[in-house]
Structure 1
Amino acid sequence: MSPEQTILKNSKKRIQKLKLLSKFFQKEDLINIIIKTEVIQSYFESKSIAGLDINKLELFHIQYTDSLIVLLDKIKKQKEAGILTAYKEIDANEDYIASFISQEKNGRDFNTERKYQNALVSDFLRSIYENLTDIRTPIDYKKVRNLSNFYAQDYYRKEAKIDCLLSLPDVRYYEYDNVDIERKLLGKLNSNNFKIRFICGYIISNQIFELFRIVDTNEDFIWNLQTNEFYILAEDIALLLDRSPNTSSKRSIVSDLRNRNEELKTKAEDMKTELPEEVITLLEKYKETLDSQEVLNQVISIDEELNILNSMLNLNLNNKIQ
């Protein structure tokens, strides 16, 4: 292969490299630069322009194209590292989400079991009442705590003023087998046939509370699982509490992770086209330089030939004088 063919081949390789980089960065100025660079090469491939020094094409690439390729290649590697980091985080988040969904499908379900709590605590309180009135019935102390044992850490609300959940000092109780029930509450439960509904749970300062409502009334009561006390929640204090249904903290995390993954995907796409301001300015200047014909004039300059011819003429002239 002749030196001229080698230079043309290497020139095409450089242009192809720029094209690959332009697909990654997707910048209009870079595409314009490639077009102008191809135009310059075409002059040296064209047979209509004879006598061009092929070395000037090589010099053009050394001065301009190679520097641009090195710059963009380094920026591309930096961006690829950032994109790879983003997708590694996405994969880790997806693994957590998949694990949570798998647990939900194969495991226990809070929204179902909270409904069972209504009947369990109702039977528990009815049994306490019957034992207080000398009607001996068995009491299941274990089942009523299953909901909190399985779900308190994940579902029960962790933000509330604990003072609003504690009993008032003047409350009067019935006591039976380490269970304290406010006297007024027990009377209301009995008159309502112990129909209750679980509202939500709280876990504050490692203390667990469950909030219930007496069905068909506006009256709520609290079960303090640490002290095993049941007492009415005053209406004015109830207004200070968030009494909305409990949601899983893991479910909230999953929702946050899904949102995070969408942000990361957008960031990874934007990362390709985002360039430092100084690089954008440099590309604009590069494009303007090619557009101004300055570089083209240098590549197809006749100054060198003029200087050689002028030197030869001067030499001949001097010889004649001598």
Structure 2
Amino acid sequence: MEDNLAIILNNSNKTISKLQVLSAFFDEEIIYKIYLRSQVVHKLFETNPELDINKLELFHIQYTDSVIDLLRKIKADNEKNVSLLYDEIHLNEELIEKLNNAVFTEKSYELDKQRQSLKMNLSMRALFKTLSENTDEYPFSRNINAFSNRYAQDFFYDISADQMLALINFDTDKVYKNTHATIQKKLMGLLCKVDFKTEFFCGLRSGDLAVEIYRFLDLDRHYLYLPSKNLLLLCDLSTIPNIDWTNNLSKKARILQELNSKNDLLESRAKLIKTRLPEPVKAVLSEYHEKISEVDFLQKIGNYDVQTNILKAMLNTDGL
């Protein structure tokens, strides 16, 4: 008899320990209450040998085991859904790593923008000289077109073909032209006025065509340089709407930003889903807790009731 008592009490402790683990996993008040109440029931039988110990075993079989099986099923389903989210996070991380290993970075772009500004200012000064002296000397700095070739695809803003054509369209009577370049007369006058002090502002791209936009340091004016034709014209950026000129992030950087933000959201969602307990289950567990907390509960052990049947039914229900 004593051996049977020890075995049932030992098995009861094991069952309650399983419930404790699930209580910690879900971190739900109602599960914790059920865990505590189960401990009270166990302690009652442990300290009152006159009670029928078989009823403790029956209590766990009818009630506690059903709760544990139900919570384990929900836990397994939740972890399956979380696994899918982490698969997506992993794929995003692989893409982030590839993008981070790209040759041209934001830092190199910023440095090369400064170099390109210097090259352009020197080239404009040289072009003015060749036009003034009517010489055939090549005015542009060495590898001046390498900048657009390197950065246009990733760092230049995309515009429509119509917008690009409107920008590079010009009146032939209003330009200076020689073998090496075509420059708007008014632009050359402004460049002389500011002593050729300009800086690279941004790049625009439409298909394979790219232009570099420069800003006068002391004037709220801009001009463009079309590397493929060595064409230089004044331009009005207000004719190109819907572009955030303050956004200096490359396409790569914007994608990285989006991927990192998405992964943060997926991580948060995974944490919520991992321990999610459906509302219908919470409601049944609350009724179950009330049932095992009743004063005369021990008298009813052995009689299956509605809550027990619902708990068992939920084990066979998909989409909890």
Aligning the two structures, in what range does the TM-score lie when normalised by the shorter sequence? 0.7 to 0.9
Amino acid across the alignment from 2:62:
Q
Compute the RMSD of aligned alpha carbons: 3.2
Q: How far has the Cα of 1:287 moved from its partner? A: 0.8
Q: How far has the Cα of 1:30 moved from its partner? A: 0.8
Task: Tell me the distance in 2 between the aligned counterparts of 1:285 and 1:233.
Answer: 74
Q: Which residue of 2 aligns with 1:284?
A: 286
Aligned residues, how many?
299
1:127/1:87 Cα in 2 relative to 1: closer, same or farther (>3 Å)? Answer: same
Deviations 1:269-296 (A, max 9, x none): 3234421111111111111111223532
Q: Which moved more, 1:281-290 or 1:85-94?
A: 85-94
1:16/1:235 Cα in 2 relative to 1: closer, same or farther (>3 Å)? Answer: closer
Q: How far has the Cα of 1:298 moved from its partner? A: 1.9
1:247/1:161 Cα in 2 relative to 1: closer, same or farther (>3 Å)? Answer: farther
Higher RCO (CA < 8 A, seq sep 6+) = 2
Q: Which residue of 2 aligns with 1:56?
A: 55
Matched-pair contact (CA < 8 Å) for 2:136–2:179: no
Correspondent of 2:255 among 231, 244, 253: 253
1:188/1:58 Cα in 2 relative to 1: closer, same or farther (>3 Å)? Answer: same
TM, length-normalised to structure 2? 0.79
1:232/1:242 Cα in 2 relative to 1: closer, same or farther (>3 Å)? Answer: farther
Percent same amino acid at aligned positions? Answer: 30
Matched-pair contact (CA < 8 Å) for 1:122–1:195: yes
Q: How far has the Cα of 1:149 moved from its partner? A: 1.6
Matched-pair contact (CA < 8 Å) for 2:210–2:227: yes
The unaligned stretches of length 5 or more in structure 2 are 304-320
- Give matches, 1:289-308, under 5 Å: 289-299=291-301
Matched-pair contact (CA < 8 Å) for 1:195–1:214: yes
Q: Which residue of 2 aligns with 1:266?
A: 268
The unaligned stretches of length 5 or more in structure 1 are 302-322
Matched-pair contact (CA < 8 Å) for 2:163–2:240: no
Q: How far has the Cα of 1:161 moved from its partner? A: 7.7
Task: Tell me the distance in 1 between the aligned counterparts of 2:104 and 2:232.
Answer: 34
Q: Does residue 150 of structure 1 match 2:163?
A: no
Q: How far has the Cα of 1:108 moved from its partner? A: 6.0
Does the residue aligned with 1:109 lie in a helix, a strand or coil? helix
Correspondent of 1:179 among 181, 199, 212: 181
Does the residue aligned with 1:198 lie in a helix, a strand or coil? strand
Q: Which moved more, 1:149-158 or 1:230-239?
A: 230-239
Q: How far has the Cα of 1:221 moved from its partner? A: 1.1
Q: Which residue of 2 aligns with 1:15?
A: 16
Matched-pair contact (CA < 8 Å) for 2:78–2:275: no
Q: How far has the Cα of 1:173 moved from its partner? A: 2.6
Amino acid across the alignment from 2:15:
R
- Bigger CA radius of gyration: 1
TM, length-normalised to structure 1? 0.79
Q: Which moved more, 1:76-85 or 1:89-98?
A: 89-98
Task: Tell me the distance in 2 between the aligned counterparts of 1:41 and 1:245.
Answer: 65
Does the residue aligned with 2:145 lie in a helix, a strand or coil? helix
Q: How far has the Cα of 1:227 moved from its partner? A: 4.1
Task: Tell me the distance in 1 between the aligned counterparts of 2:296 and 2:169.
Answer: 89
